[in-house]
Amino acid sequence: MRVCILGPTGSGKGTQAGLLSQHLHIPTISTGEILRQAIESGSDLGQQVKTFVEQGELVLDETMITLIRDRLLQADTAQGWVMDGYPRTAFQAEELDFLLEELGQRLDRAIWLEVSEGQLVNRSLERSRSDDQLEVVQRRIQVFQERTQPILEYYEMKQRLLRINGEQSPTGVSQSIYQGLGV
Ligand code: AMP
């Protein structure tokens, strides 16, 4: 199974990606996590993306596409994966389809966790990550609406979009996802 979970920070996509990975015994590919680790380690990638992540802006598509390509070439992804936070732009979505075609793989479903703006802000502020200050959270929501929302239409058109009410309890959300995927 190859699945992307789409939603802004605070939508619960990290939690749900983890649960779905465990349920299906396949790895999670969390781009936010990879970037945060790179920043912490001070690597070249980390230095390159630090300002974007800290300000709630998207990292450049070129950087992200290379990062995902490298990750999908690793052996543990051969049997499937759950992507958390990728793709986030129309360009990334299209490039992902090209890359998967090249690898002989196919995206089964894109899951959209629908959560109201008020809930998103509250949930993000309840955490204590350094990129979770109010202005950054609001900026990330705005960026999601401007850059990521359009790709929902892309997946809808391809009949691959699965809309899930993300305002249920974490267990409720995961049950709806399993049901929607038939797993
Ligand atoms: P997340 O934990 O998924 O909310 O990601 C945290 C931050 O990492 C985002 O606010 C972006 O700055 C960056 N990021 C994560 N995934 C992507 C992506 N697919 N494209 C661009 N930037 C990303």
| Interval 163-177: pLDDT, tens | 999 999 999 999 999
Cβ–ligand 1 contact at 86 (below 6 Å): yes
| Share above pLDDT 70 across residues of the chain, in percent, rounded to a whole number | 100
Strands (E) in 19-160, as ranges, are 28-30, 81-84, 109-114
Stronger pLDDT, 10 or 144, i.e. the higher one? 144
Cβ–ligand 1 contact at 113 (below 6 Å): no
Cβ–ligand 1 contact at 144 (below 6 Å): no
Residue to substitute in 29, 59, 132 for testing ligand 1 pocket (most ligand atoms within 8 angstroms of CB) = 59
What is the rounded average pLDDT for all residues in the chain? 95
For 127, residues 6+ apart whose C-beta sits below 8 A from its C-beta are none
- Ligand 1 atom nearest the C-alpha of 143 is 10
Segment 54-95, tens digit of pLDDT? 999 999 999 999 999 999 999 999 999 999 999 999 999 999
Buried/exposed code over 72-106 (b: 16+ C-beta within 10 A; e: otherwise):
beeeebeeebbbbbbbbbeebbebbeeeeeeeebe
For residue 8, name the pLDDT band (cuts at 50, 70, 90).
confident
- Residue 21 near residue 1, CB atoms below 8 Å: no
Structure tokens that stand for 170 in this block: 């974490």
- pLDDT over threshold 90, residue 131: no
Q: Please choose, from the candidates 88, 87, 129, the residue with its C-alpha nearest in 3D space to the C-alpha of residue 2.
A: 87
